[in-house]
């Protein structure tokens, strides 16, 4: 579905991605894990056209999109949930959601109502707070809204950037089980997460990123088994057999 081959992206003279290759198959949840500054968000921004790659190829459903603008890419069904939600905090919850459908153009009238109902069904709290200003929502609710807004664009591939950031563990669980449930609806997800354990628990496959290069790939199970991943990203919660 999505394919990156030897992608290099730079911010001015700083190279952020050095020849990154990865792919996402339809219906998969793929996790990108790595430390701060490894280039995870840059990968998402490169895919969505915000920071275009200087080298390599980015293909989405057999279309080379590396040089496409972000507005054109989103119309292909590639929707990003940015890190830190990036909501319009002075606007109402409902208006934030409706904004998400803008990329559909004229088609949005056809889908808007049904989609809104679907999202309210998934996150009932957003319905309750429909007229409230987005800025007054709790962190978890804001994340739900950010995801809901992206879903309004009827994505085929959802790019999720750090959905766990700043959330209480219980809320995090809720968000992640929700992401997991996307798979049953046929939605494909590329998930960037610092919380590698959470991400790998719901993902099918994953890539480990280090200083702009992918150093490992595998099924979620394999990555969890890898000692280097355990040491670096799974942290204290990880227990050895003898512990």
Integer Cα distance of 216 and 226 in angstroms: 10
Provide the minimum distance between the beta carbon of 15 and another protein in the complex, in angstroms, as a whole number: 9
22 or 134: whose CB is closer to another protein?
Answer: 22
Which 50-79 positions form the footprint of another protein (CB under 8 A)?
Answer: 55-56
State the Rg of the chain over Cα. 18
Q: Which residue has the tokens 């219906």?
A: 27
10 counts as binding another protein under rule CB under 8 A: no
- Contact pick of 9, 16, 22, 101 for another protein (by CB under 8 A): 22
b/e sequence 53-78, b meaning 16+ C-beta within 10 Å:
beebebebeeeebbebeeeebbebbb
Which listed range, 15-23, 85-93, 107-115, 184-192, lies at the site for another protein (CB under 8 A)? 15-23
24 or 160: whose CB is closer to another protein?
Answer: 24
Provide the minimum distance between the beta carbon of 94 and another protein in the complex, in angstroms, as a whole number: 40
b/e sequence 98-121, b meaning 16+ C-beta within 10 Å:
bebbebbeeebeeebeebbeebbe
128 or 228: whose CB is closer to another protein?
Answer: 228
x/- map, 221-240, another protein, by CB under 8 A: -x--xxxx------------
213 counts as binding another protein under rule CB under 8 A: yes
183 counts as binding another protein under rule CB under 8 A: no
Integer Cα distance of 60 and 116 in angstroms: 27
Tell me the three state secondary structure of residue 154.
Answer: coil
Instruction: Give the alpha-carbon dihedral of 46, 55, 21, 216, to 10 degrees.
Output: -90
- Contact pick of 47, 73, 202, 214 for another protein (by CB under 8 A): 214
Enumerate binding residues for another protein (CB under 8 A).
Answer: 3, 5-6, 8, 18-23, 25, 55-56, 207, 212-218, 222, 225-228
């Amino acid at each position: 579905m999505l394919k990156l081959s030897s992608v290099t992206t730079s911010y001015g003279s700083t190279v952020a991605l050095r020849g990154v290759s990865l792919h996402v198959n339809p219906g998969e949840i793929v996790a990108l894990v790595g430390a701060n500054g490894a280039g995870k968000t840059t990968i998402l921004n490169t895919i969505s056209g915000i920071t275009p790659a200087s080298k390599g190829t980015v293909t989405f459903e057999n279309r080379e999109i590396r040089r496409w603008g972000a507005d054109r890419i989103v119309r292909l069904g590639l929707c990003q949930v940015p890190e830190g939600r990036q909501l319009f905090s002075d606007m109402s919850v409902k208006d934030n959601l409706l904004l998400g459908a803008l990329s559909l153009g004229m088609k949005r009238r056809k889908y808007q109502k049904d989609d809104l109902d679907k999202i309210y069904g998934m996150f009932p709290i957003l319905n309750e707070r429909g007229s409230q200003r987005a800025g007054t929502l709790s962190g978890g609710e804001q994340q739900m809204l950010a995801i809901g807004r992206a879903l309004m664009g009827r994505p085929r591939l959802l790019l999720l950037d750090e959905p766990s950031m700043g959330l209480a563990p219980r809320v995090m669980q809720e968000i992640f089980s929700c992401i997991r449930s996307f798979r049953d609806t046929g939605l494909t997800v590329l998930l960037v997460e610092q919380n590698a354990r959470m991400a790998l628990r719901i993902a099918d496959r994953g890539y480990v990123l280090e200083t702009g290069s992918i150093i490992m790939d595998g099924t979620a199970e394999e990555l969890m088994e890898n000692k280097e991943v355990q040491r670096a990203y799974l942290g204290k919660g990880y227990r050895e057999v003898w512990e």
